[in-house]
Amino acid sequence: MKTAFRSCLLGPVALGYGVIGRMRNLIAAALIVAGGAAAAEPVTVAALGDSLTQGYGLPQGDGFVPRLQAWLAANGADAEIVNAGVSGDTTAGGLARIDWTLTPEVDALIVTLGGNDLLRGIDPATSRANLEAILTKAAERDLPVLLIGMEAPGNYGPDYKVEFDAIYPDLAQRFGTLFAEGFFAPLMQDGADPAALTPFMQPDGIHPNAEGVAKIVEGLGPKVLDLIAQAQSS
């Protein structure tokens, strides 16, 4: 009789513990799934630039950002590239909008600015100061950066060219960023003759055509993969 009575008392208690145990298991499983989903979120990369980044003169799918997005997907990278390119922007313009470009979702930054500084003959010291300020903003957020260089033409004189061309490798070394020698460098692999660029350029001679963008993406893509790897490890 005492045994039966004890069983009646313990039965509901044991049942309660069983329910609690199952609930704990369900909660643990949900946390694991949530953690896995968070880990699977793509890396968000902001591409800060001018018309070269924005995709001037091209159908939407042929621009630099969508082509890069497709290349990364084909090479197994889970990343979202945000097109922060504004046609006509100088380094000053990029600096003016860097704060709202670097939203909390951004994990890494590509900087391709300086081409319009060259077209306007802006003092290289000014361009350097603007790019330095942009990289400082990224460093304050501990964001990995890929800095893509620009090369000055010779029509401003040798002193201007030397001073401008030095900006990008100098800043990349100082801030410890990834560095690509030039946006158009992948088009020059078959020879240094500027005439070799003609088949890959739009009629304005400034912006790449769809074929040119495809070659540029193939050349810069591995650098972007390195950038994504840095973001994932940080």
User: Position of tokens 């000055």?
Assistant: 152
Tens digit of each residue's pLDDT (9 = 90 or more) over 10-37: 444 443 445 444 555 544 444 444 444 4
Q: Are residues 130 and 31 in the same domain?
A: no
Is there a catalytic annotation at residue 51?
yes
Q: Are residues 52 and 24 in the same domain?
A: no
CB 124 within 8 A of CB 164: yes
Q: Are residues 34 and 61 in the same domain?
A: no
Q: Are residues 142 and 229 in the same domain?
A: yes
Q: Are residues 6 and 82 in the same domain?
A: no
Q: Are residues 61 and 115 in the same domain?
A: yes
User: Position of tokens 């963008």?
Assistant: 213
CB 145 within 8 A of CB 138: yes
Q: Are residues 33 and 89 in the same domain?
A: no
Q: CA 72: distance to chain centroid? A: 11
Q: Are residues 135 and 227 in the same domain?
A: yes
Instruction: For the chain of 234 residues, list the mean pLDDT of each consecutive stretch of 10.
Output: 41 45 50 47 96 95 97 97 97 98 98 97 98 98 97 94 98 98 86 74 94 96 98 92
Provide the CATH number for the domain around residue 200.
3.40.50.1110
Active-site pick, 50, 89, 117, 207: 207
| Structure token pair of residue 200 | 């890959």
Active-site pick, 99, 190, 204, 233: 204
Task: Provide the 8-state DSSP code for 201.
Answer: B
Active-site pick, 51, 89, 117, 127: 51
Task: Provide the 8-state DSSP code for 192.
Answer: S
Is there a catalytic annotation at residue 165?
no
pLDDT of res. 1: 44
Helices (H), the chain: 2-39, 51-54, 64-74, 91-96, 98-101, 115-120, 124-140, 158-165, 167-175, 210-233
Which residues lie closer than 8 Å to 44 by C-beta, 6 or more apart? 79, 80, 82, 105, 106, 107, 108
Is there a catalytic annotation at residue 204?
yes
- The number of distinct structural domains making up the chain is 2
pLDDT of res. 41: 87
pLDDT of res. 11: 46
Q: Are residues 169 and 87 in the same domain?
A: yes
Report the chain's mean pLDDT, rounded to a whole number: 86
pLDDT of res. 5: 38
CB 161 within 8 A of CB 75: no
pTM here?
A: 0.82
Q: Are residues 26 and 66 in the same domain?
A: no
Q: Are residues 16 and 69 in the same domain?
A: no
Q: Are residues 27 and 107 in the same domain?
A: no
pLDDT of res. 225: 98
Query: How far is residue 191's CA from residue 174's CA, in Å, rounded to a whole number?
Result: 30
Q: Residue 7 sits in which domain range?
A: 1-40
